[in-house]
Amino acid sequence: MAEDLSAVAARENVWEMAKRQLDEVASLIGLNESIHGYLRQPKRVLEVSLPVRMDNGGFKMFTGYRVQHNLARGPGKGGIRFHPDVTLDEVKALAMWMTWKCALVNIPFGGAKGGVICDPKHMSMQELENLTRRFTTEISLIIGPEKDIPAPDVYTTPQIMAWIMDTFSMQHGYSIPGVVTGKPISIGGSLGRDKATARGCLYVVDEAMQALGLPIEGATVAIQGFGNAGMYAAQLMSARGYKIVAVSDSSGGVANDSGLDARGLTAHKLETGSVVGFKGGERIDNRAVLEYECDVLVPAALEKVIARENAPRIKAKIVAEAANGPTVPEADAILFDRGIMVLPDILANAGGVTVSYFEWVQDLQANFWEEEEINERLKRVMTRAFREAYDQAQRHGVSMRKGAYCVAVDRVAEATKLRGLYP
């Protein structure tokens, strides 16, 4: 738990971290100074106060945010998180990362993000529904299928997306499934969305292993964080031939050098709420999972868990960022100098937003695809994005993060330049 608390404290400066990442790549691509300044700021920031009826009959005030960083390439896209430690700086950073993520995989979205300061673990389903519907009403001025399309994030679910869709639709008098993605299948969700982030991560790890000349069969994997992304990453990578040797969640971790049973571990997590106590492995702490001896490390929890202090102890050959912002810039430099390939968040976890794009397209067309087609389309998008980022990294002699940013920032800058300023 000490690691989680330090990570929360570190998130206060995550917005400065996001801007610094942009600054570091600006000179590599010769970014125009005016456009650079433009891209360092969000286009729109909305803060709302939310009076919510509670189960005791009274109401309680909550604060929510929706940030749209850049809309030059299309409507905003980004999740909504419900978490007690949400801050405006965090939401701004996540919105900026969404801009780069959408541009890197070349889908026609800009970057946005939302958050509400609350603790869903201590709220009933009725209270969560009341909060969600109130928040949707307050941000409805700036969201919509042509404006900004929310999605699930930390502690938000397909059910919460269903409430958002219903609230927005009721305001307009007809069903508008395209206002959100990550919905249940029965009301316009997409097949393959639940595993999309993990599947996309698998595809780029496969490409990285090939680029480094490493065999996939038997390659060892440690996963820090066992929510949706981490859980499905364990299952998919295990099925692909990787060996899962260590995993953790907020309560602690388990490890087994002979390999953990991904399906058994998932069942244990769903039954008990934690990976701790799984009989197929020995207990270790969160920090030990990050520093575990392995070929591939998958940080799949919160921001800034790989810092200057522990970067020298990372033993993986590849770090695949299934979470947003798990590696601070100082740690990035250390890992690069040590020859560790970091697959950045805007690449490694872009499978989620890519299949969200597929869902949006399917909703607008009222024409839904088979899961096999979705997975094949996702693979094409992710492998192309990896190769474009890898080519830029090799060309400039820089990290994969900077290579990915070269591709993404250049695309957003080009769109911004072509559209010009109005008025």
Residues serving a catalytic function are 113
Residue 258: in which H helix or E strand, if any? none
Provide the token pair at 19: 């801007």
β pairing state of 220-224 and 243-249: parallel
One-letter amino acid for residue 365 of the chain? Q
Provide the token pair at 30: 């010769």
The conformation of residue 53, written as its DSSP 8-state character, comes to E
Alpha helices in 305-350 (DSSP H): 329-337, 345-348
CB 106 within 8 A of CB 350: no
The conformation of residue 217, written as its DSSP 8-state character, comes to T
Q: How far, rounded to the nearest angstrom, does the alpha carbon of residue 399 sit from its chain's CA centroid?
A: 20
One-letter amino acid for residue 78 of the chain? G
Residue in 41, 165, 158 with CA at minimum distance from that of residue 111? 41
Please list the residues that pair with 253 across neighbouring strands.
Answer: 248, 284
β pairing state of 252-255 and 243-249: antiparallel
Rg (CA), the chain: 20
The label of the residue with tokens 């009341």 reads 130
Give dist(CA 403, CA 383) in Å, integer.
Answer: 15
Provide the token pair at 412: 């957003």
Residue in 422, 423, 408 with CA at minimum distance from that of residue 73? 408
Give dist(CA 57, CA 260) in Å, integer.
Answer: 47
Phi, then psi, of 365 in degrees rounded to 5: -90, -15
Residue in 348, 341, 297, 306 with CA at minimum distance from that of residue 323? 348
Q: Is 255 helix (H, G, I), strand (E, B) or coil?
A: strand
415 Cβ partners below 8 Å, 6+ apart? 72, 73
